[in-house]
């Protein structure tokens, strides 16, 4: 096809020159001899340009193709699937499940276990986030203190980051050992408060288990705050502190008028990320208490897991998954809005 197009212009050139002046035939011949390859070349270049432009247009897509495929197959398709599942009855187990509309959602939302899981999750998430924030702030400020030598700071920073290195199953087992009725925590408490306290059943008492699990999560999660806040603190200009010292500000004033406002964007990001992460905390709770005793530590994630893998109620599990997904999406939208506003 390329050839047939390229011949045409050279033929018209030939016809024109022939008709106009016969004397100039040899010259025109010469011209044509030169022109033909040139015309050909330019049209090939033209073709090339089009090909190149197409290639250029497609090039960025070529680079993102593998990732996009993965996103479609493992993110968008599963989300569509889980939404579909939530409107059918007995999915996965039966070959032809029947459409039941919102009835799965109705039975989830009226399930007292689900309400209990929401309360437990709220307790777990809110206390964890607040404690993470306070501990992270405190440790970051300690590590940033001008009273300490650099080497001291490095040693303590490594110790403080330690909990972050361990995987959830290690953390769960370790704290199960320590929270055992005959474990070291009870021994330390007795050593301080006297043996009258007795052997407290931290993880198997309905009134204490949720607090104990929350405590473990606090231990596991604060280093992330600490490191991020430390980076933020180091970014605050020293001039600000100097100016406030000149104005005679005391320590709390400096903290609330300078440090907190300067760190505000970091703190808001941290809290929002932590909300999403803590809502989905599964491994830690599952391995320490498995949601028990008697659902005392049942959170949304263990509720979904139990619906699916202990009761084989995949439709119910899907419906509750969709509810959790919606909540997390709402938080994420707030997060993105905040990020955009602060830019």
Q: Which of residues 311-340 bind other proteins (CB under 8 A)?
A: 314, 317-318, 321-322, 324-325, 328-329, 331-332, 335-336
What SS3 class is residue 202? coil
- Write down the least CB distance from residue 159 to other proteins, Å: 5
Q: Which of 13, 31, 82, 258 binds other proteins (CB under 8 A)?
A: 82
> Residue 40 or residue 280: which is nearer to other proteins going by CB?
280
CA-CA distance, 246 to 284, in Å (whole number)? 48
Q: Which of 44, 127, 161, 236 binds other proteins (CB under 8 A)?
A: 161
> Residue 228 or residue 297: which is nearer to other proteins going by CB?
228
Site string for other proteins, 279-298 (x = CB under 8 A): xx-xx--xx-----------
- Write down the least CB distance from residue 15 to other proteins, Å: 41
- Asked if 276 touches other proteins (CB under 8 A), the answer is yes
- Write down the least CB distance from residue 261 to other proteins, Å: 16
Q: Are 295 and 113 in contact (CB under 8 A)?
A: yes
3-state helix, strand, coil in the chain (%, to 5): 80, 0, 20
The one segment of 1-9, 116-124, 142-150, 254-262 that binds other proteins by CB under 8 A = 142-150
- Asked if 97 touches other proteins (CB under 8 A), the answer is no
The one segment of 30-38, 60-68, 120-128, 200-208 that binds other proteins by CB under 8 A = 60-68
Q: Which residues in the 206-265 window bind other proteins by CB under 8 A?
A: 219, 223-224, 227-228, 231-232, 265
Transcribe 154-175 into DSSP letters.
HHHHHHHHHHHHS-HHHHHHHH
Q: Which of 7, 25, 75, 115 binds other proteins (CB under 8 A)?
A: 75
- Asked if 68 touches other proteins (CB under 8 A), the answer is yes
Q: Long-range CB contacts (< 8 A, 24+ apart) of 105-110?
A: 105/319, 105/322, 105/323, 107/316, 108/316, 108/319, 108/320, 108/323
Tokens of 252: 């709390």
Tokens of 335: 């997060």
Judged by CB under 8 A, how many residues of this single chain contact other proteins?
90
Q: Are 17 and 33 in contact (CB under 8 A)?
A: no
Helix/strand number for the chain, H first, E second: 15, 0
Q: How far is CA 9 from CA 31, 37, 49, 65, 292, in A?
A: 14, 11, 19, 41, 85
């Amino acid at each position: 096809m390329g050839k047939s197009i390229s011949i045409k212009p050279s033929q018209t050139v030939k016809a024109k020159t022939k008709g106009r002046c016969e004397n100039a035939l040899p010259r025109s011949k010469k011209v044509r001899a030169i022109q033909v390859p040139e015309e050909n070349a330019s049209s090939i270049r033209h073709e090339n340009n089009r090909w190149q432009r197409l290639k250029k247009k497609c090039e960025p897509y070529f680079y993102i193709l593998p990732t996009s495929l993965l996103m479609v197959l493992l993110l968008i398709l599963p989300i569509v699937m889980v939404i579909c599942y939530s409107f059918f009855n007995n999915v996965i187990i039966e070959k032809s499940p029947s459409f039941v509309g919102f009835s799965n959602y109705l039975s989830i939302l009226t399930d007292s276990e689900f309400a209990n899981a929401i309360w437990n999750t709220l307790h777990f998430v809110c206390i964890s986030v607040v404690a993470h924030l306070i501990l992270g702030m405190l440790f970051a400020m300690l590590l940033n203190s001008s009273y300490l030598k650099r080497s001291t700071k490095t040693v303590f920073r490594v110790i403080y980051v330690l909990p972050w290195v361990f995987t959830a199953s290690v953390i769960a087992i370790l704290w199960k050992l320590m929270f055992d009725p005959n474990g070291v925590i009870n021994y330390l408490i007795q050593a301080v408060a006297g043996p009258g306290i007795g052997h407290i059943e931290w993880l198997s008492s309905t009134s204490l288990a949720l607090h104990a699990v929350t405590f473990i999560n606090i231990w596991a999660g604060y280093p992330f705050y600490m490191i991020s806040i430390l980076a933020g603190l180091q970014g605050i200009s020293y001039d600000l502190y100097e100016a406030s010292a000149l104005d005679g500000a005391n320590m709390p004033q400096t903290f609330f008028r300078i440090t907190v406002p300067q760190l505000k964007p970091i703190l808001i990001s941290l809290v929002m990320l932590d909300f999403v992460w803590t809502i989905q905390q599964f491994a830690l709770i599952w391995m320490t208490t498995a949601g028990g005793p008697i659902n005392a530590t049942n959170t949304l994630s263990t509720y979904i897991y139990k619906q699916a893998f202990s009761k084989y109620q995949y439709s119910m599990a899907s419906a509750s998954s969709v509810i959790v997904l919606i909540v997390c999406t709402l938080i994420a939208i707030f997060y993105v809005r905040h990020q955009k506003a602060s830019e």
